[in-house]
Amino acid sequence: MKIFRTSQIHTEETYARKTYFQIILLALAAHLSFIVIFAFLSFWELCIYNIISVCFYIAMSQIVKHGFYRVAVSLVHLEVCIFVSVTYLLLGSNTGIELYLIAISSLVYFCPFDHKWIPYLFSCGELLLFLLLKVYFSSSGIYPPLSQSVLTGLNVYNICASFIIILFAAFASNVSASVTKKKLEDQNESLSSLANYDQLTGLLSRHCFLDKLGDYKHQTIILAMGDIDDFKIINDTYGHHCGDYVLKTVASIMKNCCIGFSYICRWGGEEFLFLFHSLSFDEACLKVSELCEGVDRFTFIYEGKPFHVTITFGVCERTDGEDFSNLIKRVDKRLYLGKANGKNRVVIQDEL
């Protein structure tokens, strides 16, 4: 039986950490490449800046490792804005460096904030900075003008790098959607399990069992109802935890004995209801008798104390056209006929 699991949360946490690590690795690769590029062009101030950025992203990897995603994401967006602004002002407007503001905006999906508007605030800020740089700053930078071939090379590189970031965002978003879909499917399956199965015993719930009955509306079926004898005495003597242990153990014996040709539900308390759908009445009665004897023979041990449990059954075959509520009443009547006549028995008729 499935319930909501911490493993689902762990999967999401692992995926988030992996995604943020990948973003940091992309940034590290970009800044390492810029160290080489700017060293080749003898732009030593930008070299030093990118060396500092590499150290910064190594620190960010540790912050992500410890789960401080909001801090890391906020600082990464800030660093990109500073890097673009500094490089734009030094080299001018013809290098394509401002495209990283567009690229980083595509990662807005991965902002781990409770308020959904915060990521869009980042994007608006980056768009505003992009427009500010393009409109209010001249095409030439503080550094001497670069040759056309260098500008073309930087443009091509920055366009390709920005495109890779956007592709990564698209790919990671698709993976994230798949993870979310799987999570929803698991949750739906968990909810279905909670609705259809008794949480203590793993047997069908009453609601699910009645649905199963509806599938056999036009077929001959055999119904059996079992009730653990003197269950209140077990609870009073050994405690309710022992009672739970008995219920789970009896349910396990039932499943092992009747697997493949019956549905079993915990009808309520210590009562169990069986639907035999592929056995004759005599075969079902024999199977229930074996189950009754099996429970009687089983030695229960709780906190080192051995004891025995018995169970009483009533068994009925559905007559033509009989509604299920009447069938359940008849099998319940036979069960309590057995209770009134010694318990630990199987009653298959209305009179003893």
pLDDT tens per residue, range 254-302 = 999 887 778 999 998 999 999 998 899 999 999 999 999 999 999 999 9
Calculate ∠ Cα 50-121-78, nearest 5°. 15
pLDDT at residue 246, as a whole number: 96
**66 Cβ contact partners less than 8 Å away, ≥ 6 residues apart:** none
Give percent helix, percent strand, percent coil of the chain, each to the nearest 5.
65, 10, 25
> Are the beta carbons of 101 and 81 closer than 8 angstroms?
yes
Q: Is the pLDDT of residue 172 over 80?
A: no
How far is 161 from 97, CA to CA, in rounded Å?
Answer: 10
Domain 206-347 class, CATH top level: alpha beta
> Are the beta carbons of 53 and 83 closer than 8 angstroms?
yes
The tokens describing 165, both together, are 């970031």
Q: Is the pLDDT of residue 178 over 70?
A: no
Calculate ∠ Cα 333-335-340, nearest 5°. 90
Report the SS3 class of residue 346.
Answer: strand
Domain boundaries, the chain: 1-192, 206-347
pLDDT at residue 166, as a whole number: 86
Q: Which residue has the tokens 């429970």?
A: 295
pTM (2 decimals)? 0.53
Q: Averaged over 35-55, what is the pLDDT?
A: 95
What count of residues does the chain have?
352
Q: What is the dihedral of CA 208, 214, 216, 221, to 10 degrees?
A: 70
How far is 262 from 259, CA to CA, in rounded Å?
Answer: 6
Residue 139, burial from CB neighbour count under 10 angstroms (0-12, 13-18, 19+): exposed
pLDDT band at 174 (very low <50, low <70, confident <90, very high): low
- Average pLDDT score, the chain: 86
pLDDT at residue 252, as a whole number: 94
pLDDT band at 9 (very low <50, low <70, confident <90, very high): very low
**248 Cβ contact partners less than 8 Å away, ≥ 6 residues apart:** 200, 201, 202
Q: Averaged over 120-149, what is the pLDDT?
A: 87
pLDDT at residue 266, as a whole number: 93
The tokens describing 59, both together, are 């620190």
Report the SS3 class of residue 140.
Answer: strand
Q: Is the pLDDT of residue 314 over 90?
A: yes
